[in-house]
Amino acid sequence: MQYVLLTGGAGFIGSHMMDGLVENGYRAIIIDDMSTGTLRNIRHQSANIFVEFYPGSVNDMAHLEENMDNVEYIIHLAALPSVTRSIEMPLRTHEVNVEGTLNILEIARKYNIKKVVFASSSSVYGNTPTLPKHEGMVPSPLSPYAASKAAGESYMAAYCAAYGVPTISLRYFNVYGPRASANSEYGAVIPRFIKAAREGVAPCIYGDGTQTRDFTYVKDVVKATITAMQSDATGAYNIGTGRSVSLNELARTVLELTGRQDLQPEYGEPRPGDVAHSLADISRAREAFGWEPGYTLEQGLKATIDAC
């Protein structure tokens, strides 16, 4: 059985990645400082002997080294998420997202790791008008969070070139699904919309709602990540659906699926750092490691609502 170090494994995406690794016959070694993760996300695997959880930070090199026995792959999800939070906390965002990523690469170099998979973000593209976004475009980050992900990608490429560490950066596009939190000001739009509908409250849209997003179901992201890890591909790849939807249309769909068509969205001021439109060109991932998304937006929303 192959061991995978999974940073950020108690988070929303990380906990689903843990499940995917177990389902694919891997042993998951989870490192998470619990700043945004929660034990609730991983409790269902607590009795599984193929899952080990070690509370700690990617900024603690000694702690990382203590848990590297038998590890062959690293999936690096740990980060301080959210564009909004990064604008409020740029130094902390850099510390966790950039310095923490550099620590992971040093560990990978020292222990001859077979592959490092880095969770990047569609936010690296910024507001460049070209749609769909493709990997040949020059990154144009609008927030410290986006800049930290672009920096992480650069370090991944540099360690691959300078030291021969196999690395791949996956630019996730607007991931959603069960376990995503709506209980903080940084909550993603889909869990916030679902929570509002459940509570009989009008969902809030920041801006006029015409902005578009390529929403990607978390199980598709898990499949893409594990497939990329198993492949020989290196470099940066978009992970999305190749289809986008406006926030106005998203709100209508969520309200229909929750039976709350009586509610209408309310609108607030646009948030700094948010991009206007996002849509992934996923042809490069398709060609490099044969990945295709399996969920439509409606299928993913239904699964998410059913899990609430």
User: Distance between CA 75 and CA 94 in Å, rounded?
Assistant: 19
Residues with a known catalytic role: 145
User: Distance between CA 6 and CA 127 in Å, rounded?
Assistant: 31
201 token code pair: 């409250």
User: Distance between CA 74 and CA 68 in Å, rounded?
Assistant: 10
Cα→Cα distances 36→22, 79, 291, Å: 22, 9, 29
199 token code pair: 């509570």
Contacts of 99 (CB under 8 A, 6+ apart): 59
User: Distance between CA 172 and CA 177 in Å, rounded?
Assistant: 13
| Identity of the amino acid at 19 | D
Widest Cα–Cα separation across the chain: 59
- At residue 246, the 3 state secondary structure works out as strand
Cα→Cα distances 67→55, 96, 97, 143, 201, Å: 11, 19, 20, 33, 45
Q: What sign does the dihedral 180-83-116-279 (CA atoms) show?
A: positive
Q: What sign does the dihedral 52-303-181-227 (CA atoms) show?
A: positive
